[in-house]
Amino acid sequence: MKRILEGVIQHFQTSCETTDQWAKFARMFKHDFKKFLKPYTKAVDIYRGHFFMSGFFELNNGKIYYFSISDVRFSPRSPMLIRTAKSFKDFTGGSNGYIHFDENFEQNLLQIIKT
């Protein structure tokens, strides 16, 4: 997850098309995030949008979470939104929670999903 923390604070070029910089970061994020979640999940689905990402993951116990990373061009230090969901189509879900991209990111994410 160190690469995610380093990558999310970089200055992203703005463009009306997907930049190589954003595509590279998104691939890395998907790979590292899925790898981190693997011991705790049975399914992970991540969508890369135009300079934002969102997705769902289902824990081994069946609990589902939605997450979203805001437009990184304008708010690179914004925290990741996370909340419970009823399914991989539930975009409204439970109460919003936020995890900052800092040295405690992994610990804070685990604290949320292990409750």
Residues 6+ apart with CB under 8 A from 19: 12, 13
* Residue 102 or 96, more confident: 96
Q: Residue 92 burial (CB < 10 Å; 0-12/13-18/19+)? A: exposed
pLDDT higher than 80, residue 73: no
For the segment 8-64, what is each residue's pLDDT rounded down to a tens digit?
556 667 777 778 888 888 898 899 999 999 999 999 999 998 888 999 999 999 999
Quickly state the pLDDT bin for 65 (edges 50, 70, 90).
very high
**pLDDT confidence band for 88 (50 / 70 / 90):** very high
> In the chain, helix, strand, coil percent, each to 5?
30, 25, 40
The total number of structural domains that make up the chain? 1
Whether the predicted model's global pTM rises above the 0.75 cut: yes
The per-residue pLDDT for 114 is: 86
pLDDT of residue 96: 94
Q: Which residue segment(s) compose the domain that 17 sits in?
A: 2-113
